[in-house]
Each structure stands twice: as structure tokens, then as C-alpha cells.
Amino acid sequence: MMALGLELKRRGHDPVIATAAFYADKITEAGLGFHAIRPNLTPADRELLRHAMDERHGPERLVRGVMMPAVRNTYEDLTRGLNDADILLGADLVYAAPVAAEVMKLPWIAVTMAPLSFFSRHDPPVLPPAPWLAKLARVSKPAYAAIVRFGQWSARPWARPVYELRRELGLSRGLEPLFEARTKADALLGMFSPLVGPPQPDWPANAKATGFAFYDRHVPMTNDLRRFLDAGDPPIVFTLGSAAVFDPGEFYRESARAAARLRQRAVLLVGPEPENVPPPSERLFIADYAPFSELFPRAAAIVHQGGIGTTAQALRAGRPMLIIPYSHDQPDNAARMIRLGVGRTIRRRKYSAATAAAALEPLLNDPAYARRAAQAAAQLQHEDGAAAAANEIERIIFRRSAAPARESSAIGSS
């Protein structure tokens, strides 16, 4: 969203990112407008993050337990910040966005970050609660589609707060909020590369894959890390992204042991409040953060949790990857990297120094992985997800305006 906001600003618009108050400083320091919406989710709530990252029940806990109970607050906050807006973008979890857009009579764009969310029977995703469904799709697409529809029907009670809000506002019941509402948005942007999720015949008619949008420029790489990288062979980089990092278990200790087994240097990105982290050494660098766009191209391989942002950065760097998925879209992203031939995966509960070292050895030594990773990186060089998304936004704004001028965009994210 920050990459998209900066692209819109470059074109003369006034983008505003509406999200949790925790991110206010990061957004305003980049020169973008900010508007706080609830719930104010923060990385400090480790218990919530652990529940949300649970392999089987994480998605339900996040949607049903956190986002839906706050939908009325989110709606109130959005409508207070949309008085001068021309268009509203709503990410997957912002279920109040289409309601706010309808009341304010604004065009709205639905945004999704990972191909899993399309539940295509032609490109079946790996779903954490039922990984066997992807295998069923290869045998019978109709059977797969029927089971997915039943699962979506079963989740309909989760959306009760949205129906209640619409009734209080005097609106019709509307489309089912979890899966159907976005199909009637002015556009549905899949902000990921077609390399990862190519468009499918059963995507909604308003859907388009824009390519990845990259932003991680707010904190530069430290001089100490630069010196470590310059002092020897490319290291293995171990990271758990922005959410799983708060529930690492023994990931960092086992990762350091795996690197030692392979006689490889390593960088551990451990987050702002690290847990179970081994001491640094001459061959092991510990950092709370480093910009992936600077660090990943200097890695021998990248071990990560499979979040779509981290996966995109690893692809752009052209480095083989080992993925330890937690929940949500991460197992599906891992499966897609395997199909591309650029990575391998280990289930979280089976991750150890021994399993990591065994999985990393071919990634480091088989040139086919490096060759395919370089080919993927070359393809991404021809994509600009922020520019493609901005083109769609401008197309809708200008279509609605008889006299296009300086516009204002409100972006809702979670």
C-alpha cells in the first residue's frame, strides 16, 4: 500500500492510507497521508498474533474474532476520513470498505495480495485447514469447487456484523461480504505477479493481476551488517517476516545450528523483541531488521515463513528459498515456489537444524535452483505492480469525472 501510495503521489494525487494507528509514523515519515482506523492491531499483542498465525484456526480467529467484531468501528473511522475522497481501496480484511463506499457514493476497488484468495478450481490453492483439497482438484475440479462453495457457505455466519451494520444504515442485505462483495467492486486488483498466480478462467470479471508492489525503504541497512556481508561468502538469511517473527519458537536457534552444520555464514532477522535467539559470532550476524531489497540479493539462500511480501522480495532477489509456512496464504505460497522450481518447504513443526540443513543443501549446491531463481527475478524486472494498480485507479477516477484534475485517494488496509 505504501508503494502504491507513493506512486499515486508522484502522479499528483493525494493518497491517504487508512490503517491501524501503530503505523502512523512510518506512513507520515514517507510523506503520505494517514488516517487511523480500528481495530488498532499492533505487533505488541503477541497473544493475538500467535492465535492469528495458528495453522488450522488462524484465519477464523482473525476474521471472526478480530476484524468482524470491529466492523462498525472501522466503518465509522472510514466515513470520518472520506469526506474529500474520490475513490476507496479496501484490502481483504477491511469488510467495512464496501459499506462505506456505498454510503459515501464512492467508487471502490477491492485489493488482494495473494492468489489463494481467488480459490480457483483451475489453480487450486493449498488451504491450511485442508491441504488435501489441492490434490482433489487435480482429480475432479467440480468436486473441489463444490467443497470450496460449501466451506464458504459454512463461513457465512462470520459476516453477521456486516449484515447488522447494513440494516442499521438502511441498506439492503447486499452480497455475502467475505467472498462475493468484491466481485462487484469497480475493480479487483490482485497485487501479485502473474508468475506466481496467473489469471484463470474462473476469476471474477473485474479481476486483474498487477504485479508486486515493493516498498521497504524506511530503515537503511546498518553499517555493521554491510561490513559482515563484505567480510565473507554470501550468508543464508533467516527471517520470519513481520508477523510470524513474534511467534518464533525455536526457529532462530535451530537455524543457527543448521547454518553451522552446513559451514555457512548466516544472518538472523529477529524482530524488535527477539525470543530464543542464539548469541552472535564471527559467522552469525543478528539484526532486528534489514531492508529485504538490500539484503536478499546478497544471500546464498533465504529461509522464511512464506508471507507474500517476503516471498516476492526473495523472488525479486533471484535467490533460492526454503519456506517454513505458518498459516493463511503461506502454505500456498510455498507450494507455488516449489512449482516454480525455486524453493523447498518444511512444515513448521518439523523444522529443526537437521531438517533445515538437509533441505538447504540442494538449494545451495544444485545450480538448477539458482538458474530458475534468476529467471524468475528477470521476469519480475519487467513488472511494476504499483504503476499498474495506479493505472487502474486513475482509469476509474477519470471515468467518473467529467473534468479530471488533482484527485484524492483514500486507501483502506489492515
DSSP string, 349-384: GG--HHHHHHHHHHHHH-HHHHHHHHHHHHHHTT--
Q: Edge to edge, what strands does the sheet with 87-91 contain?
A: 33-36, 14-19, 408-412, 87-91, 108-112, 187-190, 207-209
Q: What pLDDT score does 340 carry?
A: 97
Q: What values do phi and psi take at 143, rounded to 5?
A: -65, -45
Compute the radius of gyration of the chain from its Cα atoms: 21
Decide the pairing of beta strands 108-112 and 187-190: parallel
Q: Would you state the pLDDT for residue 137?
A: 79
Determine the pLDDT at residue 404.
45
pLDDT given for residue 201 in this prediction: 96
Question: Which CB contacts under 8 angstroms, 24+ apart, belong to 141-146?
Answer: 145/121
DSSP 3-state of 257: helix
Distance CA 97, CA 91 (A): 8
Tell me what pLDDT residue 413 has.
Answer: 55
Domains for the chain: give ranges and CATH numbers.
Answer: 2-212+384-412 (3.40.50.2000), 223-380 (3.40.50.2000)
311, three cell numbers? 516471498
Report CA torsion sign: 35, 158, 124, 188.
negative
- The DSSP-derived string for 12-62 is T-EEEEEE-GGGHHHHHHTT-EEEE-SS---TT-HHHHHHHT-TTTHHHHH
Alpha carbons 247 and 241: distance in angstroms, whole number: 11
Residue 260 identity (one-letter amino acid) = A
Helices 71-80 and 160-168: crossing angle in degrees, nearest 10, is: 50
Between CA 190 and CA 208 the distance in angstroms is: 6
Q: Sheet harboring 236-239: ordered strands across?
A: 284-287, 266-269, 236-239, 301-304, 321-323, 343-345
Cα-Cα-Cα-Cα dihedral of 24, 110, 293, 218, to 10°? -10
Nearest to 109 by CA among 179, 192, 185, 162: 185
pLDDT on residue 409? 54
Rounded to two decimals, the pTM is 0.91
Q: Supply φ then ψ for residue 94, to 5 degrees.
A: -90, 80
- Distance of alpha carbon 309 from alpha carbon 43, whole angstroms: 17
Q: Tell me: the pLDDT tens digits for 149-204? A: 888 888 889 999 999 999 999 999 999 999 999 999 999 999 999 999 999 999 99
C-alpha cell of residue 121: 478450481
What pLDDT is stored for residue 407 in this prediction? 46
Q: What is the rounded distance in angstroms from the CA atom of residue 311 to the CA atom of residue 323?
A: 9
356, 303 Cβ separation under 8 angstroms: yes
What pLDDT, on the 0 to 100 scale, is given for residue 218? Answer: 67
Which residues does the chain have with pLDDT short of 50? 403-407
Nearest to 353 by CA among 284, 237, 258: 258
Determine contact, residues 366/341, Cβ cutoff 8 Å.
no
